[in-house]
Structure 1
Amino acid sequence: MSLQIKKTDILIIGTGLAAVATALHVPSSLSVLLVSKGEVTSTNSDLAQGGIASSYLEETSEAHKEDTMLASNRTSCSERVDILVKEGRRAIEEMERFGVRFDRDEDGYALGREGAHQLHRIFHAGGDETGRHVMRQLRRSLPDNVSILEHVLVHDLVMKEGRVVGALAFHHEEMLQLEAGAVILATGGIGGLIDWTSNAKTVTGDGLVLANRCGAKLTHLQQIQFHPTLLAAEEPHLVTEALRGAGAKLVDASGNHVMAHDPLGSLAPRDVVARVLTDHVGLVFLDTTKVKRLRDRFPKLVATCDKLGIDLRQIPVRPGLHFHMGGIEVDESGRTDVDGLYAVGEVADTGVHGTNRLASNSLLECWVFGKRVAEAIQVNDASLATSDVMVYDISPETFQAFRHQIGKWLTISPNLDEMKCFLQNTQTLTLTKHVTRQLSEQTLQLDAARLLAQSILEMERYDEHDLSTRTAATVSD
C-alpha cells in the first residue's frame, strides 16, 4: 500500500465550529489543514439546534456567569467561566462580520431561552437549524491558507523528541502521513460510541485516545451529559431545549406536568430533567399547545415529526447521550501538557462546564477558545518521524457485540458489572501490526470506551456524597 505524505504548518483534526473558529483566526502566513473523518459536515456543530448563548445584549456578563455556575452545581472553574462569558459577549458581533445572519423579529434579535437560563439570551440562525446555518457561512469564509480534506481517519499522532510533529492516517483506504508544526485536536465528544445519542455517528472519542497515547492528561471523563429530550422514535432525533423555552411543557400520558416539583419546571437544568425522565414510569411528552408559531420557529422538528407521523401537539421524548464535559486537560489557551499538541471544543476539558453544561454554551466555547488557540499557537518546523501502530485484530461481528455491550453501560445510570465485563474482555484482545482503516477505527472506539469505563469505575471508589466538592476542587486546580 502506497504512503501519501502531506506537510502543513498546522494540522486541525476536526471540521466543526472549534476547528473552523481556530482556522479563521490563525495568521494568514501559516498553512492550515483541517481533516474530517467523514464528510466535512459530519459534526455535532452542524447538528446543533438550540443556538448560541451570549450576554451580548445585557449590561454585563454576570448573570450569564451565574447561570453557568448554578447549572454545574458550582463545579465549573470560575476563572474559565469568566473567560467564556466575557469574551463570549463579542461572539455574536464577530460571527456577523463573517456573514452569519442571526434570526430577528420586529424588536431586534429573536432571542430564545433554555433550561437554567434566567434570561432570553440564546441567539438562533434559521430557527432550530442554527448549527447548519452558522457552519455553512463560516466555512465559506475560510481564507486561502486553509484547506480541508474529507474522509481522513487519524489513527495515531507522531512524536519526535517529546513533541507532536504530525499524524498517521487513512485517506479513504490509502495510508497518509501528515507532517505538521503543531496539531490541534477538535474531534468532538463521545456520543457516537452508542446508538441512542444526539451526536453525529463519527464522533466517537478519537481525540481522547490520540491524546492519551502520546501522554497528554485526561480529566473528568466520567462527566457525561444526557439530554432530556430526544425524540422517542426508532431513530434518535434531538428535540431542542428551545422548544421548552418557547412554552412547551413536559407531561405524562395523563397531561400531568412531570417537572411541577421543580421551581424552574420544564426549564430546570438538563441533568435534573434527564434524571427525572429516566426514572419516570411510562411515556413522557412535550405538550406544545402553548408554543406560538411553532412551524416557523422550529422547521427541522416539524419536518421530522411530519415525516414520522408524530402529532406536533404531543411529542414523545426520552433522554439520550448528548455532551461530554470531561476531556483533554488544557490551559486557558488550549495548550495540553505535550509540546506541539492543542485541544479545543468538546474534546477539551476547559473547566467551563463542570458536572453539567448550561444549554447553548457549547458553540460559544468553541468560538471563544478557538480564537484563543489561534492566538497562542506556536508552530515548529515540521519534521519527518515514524510511528509503529498496532490495532485489535477482531472481526466486524465481534466489534458490533462490543458496541452493544457499551450501550448497556454508557447510560445515565451506568451498569458497573457490564462495564467491568467489557474491560476484562477487551483487555484480552489480540493485537496486530496489519493495520487497516476498519481495524483502526474499531480500535479507536474500543479504546475510547475503555478510557470512559476506567474513569467511571475510578469515581465509584469514592463516596457519592463527597463527589461534587471533590470535583469542584479538581476543576479549579
Structure 2
Amino acid sequence: MSLQFEKVDVLIVGAGLAAVTVALHLPHTLNVLLVSKHEVTSANSDLAQGGIASSYLESSSVDHERDTLVASKLAAMPDRVYTLVEEGRSAIRDLERFGVVFDRDETGYAVGREGAHGMNRIFHVGGDETGRHVMATLRRQLPDNVTVMEHVLIDSLLKSDGRVSGATGYNGETRLHVQAGAVVLATGGIGGLIDWTSNCRSVTGDGLVLAHEVGAVLTNLSRIQFHPTLLAVESPHLVTEALRGAGATLVDASGRHVMAYHPLGSLAPRDEVARTLTRHDGVVYLDTSRVERIAERFPKLVATCDAHGIDVCQIPVRPGLHFHMGGVDVDADGRTAVAGLYAVGEVADSGVHGKNRLASNSLLECWVFGKRVAATVTVEEKPLTVNETTVYEVSLDLFSRYRQQIGEWLTISPQIGEIASFLENTQQLVQTKHMSRQLSEQTLSLKAARLLARAMIETEDGYEQDRFARTADGISK
C-alpha cells in the first residue's frame, strides 16, 4: 500500500463551521491542514436552515442566556452559556467582516424566531439556506497558510510523551500519516449513524472514537436531540423551525393544533414537541397558511415540497435524529484532557446545551468557541510514532445489518433490550491488520455506536448491572 506523509503545525479534522472558524483565526504563521472526510460541503453546517441566534440587536444578552438555560432543562453550565451568548453578540458583525451578507427587510435585519426563544433573534442568509451561503463565503476567505484536503478519513490519533503528535488515515485509498504540533477535532455529531436524520450521512461520531482512544474524556453521550419536523417522505429532509417562527402550526388531520396544551404552542422546546409528535396517533402536518411570502423566505423548503408533490400549505412531518449535546469533554477554550488535542462544535461537550439545545445556537457555538480554540492552541512538535492499527473484519452486508440494528435503538424512545443485543452482537467482532478505507470507516461507526449504546444503558434507571457485566470489557474497545 502506498503511503503519504504530511507535516503540519495544526491538523483540523472536519470542514464545517467549527473547523473553518478555527482555521480563519489561527495565526497566519502556522502551517494548517484542514481535512474533510468527503467533499468539504458534506458537513452539517452546510445544511443549516434556521440561521444563527444572537442578541446582537438586544440591549444585553440576558434574555438569550435565560432562554438557552431554560431550553437546556437547566442542565447547561451557566458560565459557558454566558460565554456563548455574550461573545455571540459580536458574531453577526464578525461574520459580516468576512463577507457574510445577512437577510434584511425594510426595517433592517430580517430576524426570525424559533422554538423556545422569547423573541426574534435568528439571523438568516438566503432565507432557509443560511448554512450553505455562510460556509461558501467563509471557505473563500481561508488564508494561504491553510491547506484543504478532501476525501481524507482520519482513523486514529497518535501520541508521544503523553501529547497528541499526529494522526493516521486515508487520503482517498492511499494510507496517510500526518505529524502535527496540535490536533483540533471538529468532526460533528452522530446523526449519520442512522437513516432517519437531518444529518449528513458522513457524520458518524468519528471524533468521539478518536478522542476516546487516546484518553480524552467523553461526557453526556446519551443527550441526543430529535428535531420535531423532518419531511415525512421516504428520505428525510429537515423542515426548518423558522417556519413555525413565521406562523406555521402543527396540526392533525382534522386541523386540531397538537401543541395547543403548551404555553409556547408550536414553538415549544424541541424535545417537548418531538415527544408529542412521536406519541401522536396519526399524521401531523405543518399548516403554513399564515406564513407570508413563503416562497421568498423559504425557497429550499418550497423546492423540496414541489419535488415530492407536497402541498406547501399542508406539510406532513415527523421527528428525526438531529443533534448531539454530549461529546468530548472540553474546557471553555476547547482543551481536552489530552495535551495537544482540542475539540469544538458538535463533537465537543462544550456545556452550553444541557439536555436540549436551543434552536440556532449550534452555528453560534461553532463561531464563538472556534475563535476561542484558535486563540488557545499551542503547537509543540513531537516525534511521530505510528502504532499498529487494526479494524473490524466486517463485510459490507454485515455492516449494513448492524447499521439497521443501530437505527432500531437510536431513537427518541430507545429500548434497552435492543441496545443490549447490539452490544452483545458486536462485542466479539474479529479484528484484522488487513486494513482498507472501507473497513476503517465501518469500524469507526461501530465503535461510536458502541460508545453511545453503553452510555444510554448506563443512564437508564432500570439498568441491570449483572445482566451486562459480561460485555463491559469490550464495550469501549
TM-score by length of 2: 0.96
Deviations 1:309-360 (A, max 9, x none): 0001100000000000000000000000001100000000010000000000
Contact 1:8/1:382 (8 A) holds in 2? no
* Aligned position for 1:407: 407
1-side partners of 2:209 and 2:161: how far apart? 20
2-side partners of 1:462 and 1:325: how far apart? 23
1:125 corresponds to 2:135 = no
Displaced runs of 4 or more, over 3 A: none
Deviation at 1:382, TM superposition (A): 4.7
2-side partners of 1:104 and 1:394: how far apart? 52
Contact 2:158/2:384 (8 A) holds in 1? no
Pairing of 1:146-295 with structure 2 (within 5 A): 146-295=146-295
2-side partners of 1:462 and 1:116: how far apart? 31
* Aligned position for 1:111: 111
Deviation at 1:162, TM superposition (A): 1.1
Pairing of 1:337-356 with structure 2 (within 5 A): 337-356=337-356
Deviation at 1:2, TM superposition (A): 1.3
Contact 2:114/2:242 (8 A) holds in 1? yes
* Aligned position for 1:101: 101
2-side partners of 1:125 and 1:313: how far apart? 23
Contact 1:7/1:382 (8 A) holds in 2? no
1-side partners of 2:147 and 2:359: how far apart? 32
Gaps of 5+ in 2: 464-477
Contact 2:160/2:382 (8 A) holds in 1? no
Contact 1:80/1:332 (8 A) holds in 2? yes
Contact 1:47/1:129 (8 A) holds in 2? yes
User: 1:393 is aligned with what amino acid?
Assistant: E
SS of aligned partner of 2:371: helix
Deviations 1:7-57 (A, max 9, x none): 110000000000000110000100111000000100000000000000000
* Aligned position for 1:394: 394
Contact 1:251/1:286 (8 A) holds in 2? yes
Task: Report which stretch shifted further, 387-396 or 36-45.
Answer: 387-396
1-side partners of 2:308 and 2:383: how far apart? 53
Query: Over the residues paired in the alignment, what is the CA RMSD in angstroms?
Result: 0.8
Contact 1:391/1:432 (8 A) holds in 2? yes
User: 1:255 is aligned with what amino acid?
Assistant: G
* Aligned position for 1:314: 314
1-side partners of 2:403 and 2:462: how far apart? 28
SS of aligned partner of 1:111: coil
Contact 2:23/2:142 (8 A) holds in 1? yes
Deviations 1:377-416 (A, max 9, x none): 0001253221211111011111000000000000000011
SS of aligned partner of 1:89: helix
1-side partners of 2:385 and 2:407: how far apart? 38
2-side partners of 1:152 and 1:184: how far apart? 15
Deviation at 1:461, TM superposition (A): 3.8
Contact 2:390/2:432 (8 A) holds in 1? yes
Pairing of 1:129-148 with structure 2 (within 5 A): 129-148=129-148
1-side partners of 2:91 and 2:400: how far apart? 41
1-side partners of 2:341 and 2:38: how far apart? 22
Pairing of 1:331-342 with structure 2 (within 5 A): 331-342=331-342
* Aligned position for 2:300: 300
1-side partners of 2:461 and 2:287: how far apart? 41
Deviation at 1:462, TM superposition (A): 6.9
Gaps of 5+ in 1: 464-477
1:363 corresponds to 2:363 = yes
* Aligned position for 2:43: 43
User: 1:188 is aligned with what amino acid?
Assistant: G
User: 1:86 is aligned with what amino acid?
Assistant: E
2-side partners of 1:389 and 1:81: how far apart? 39
Contact 1:9/1:382 (8 A) holds in 2? no
* Aligned position for 1:437: 437
* Aligned position for 2:475: none
Q: How many residues align?
A: 463
Percent identical among aligned pairs is 67
Deviation at 1:239, TM superposition (A): 0.1
1-side partners of 2:460 and 2:257: how far apart? 33
* Aligned position for 1:58: 58
Contact 1:67/1:358 (8 A) holds in 2? yes
1-side partners of 2:298 and 2:387: how far apart? 48
2-side partners of 1:254 and 1:434: how far apart? 58
Contact 1:21/1:367 (8 A) holds in 2? yes
1-side partners of 2:56 and 2:147: how far apart? 31
2-side partners of 1:71 and 1:164: how far apart? 36
Contact 1:192/1:201 (8 A) holds in 2? yes
Contact 2:182/2:341 (8 A) holds in 1? yes
Contact 1:54/1:85 (8 A) holds in 2? yes
SS of aligned partner of 2:320: strand
User: 2:397 is aligned with what amino acid?
Assistant: E
Contact 2:184/2:343 (8 A) holds in 1? yes
Deviations 1:418-460 (A, max 9, x none): 1000000100110101111011100000000000000000001
User: 1:373 is aligned with what amino acid?
Assistant: V
* Aligned position for 2:88: 88
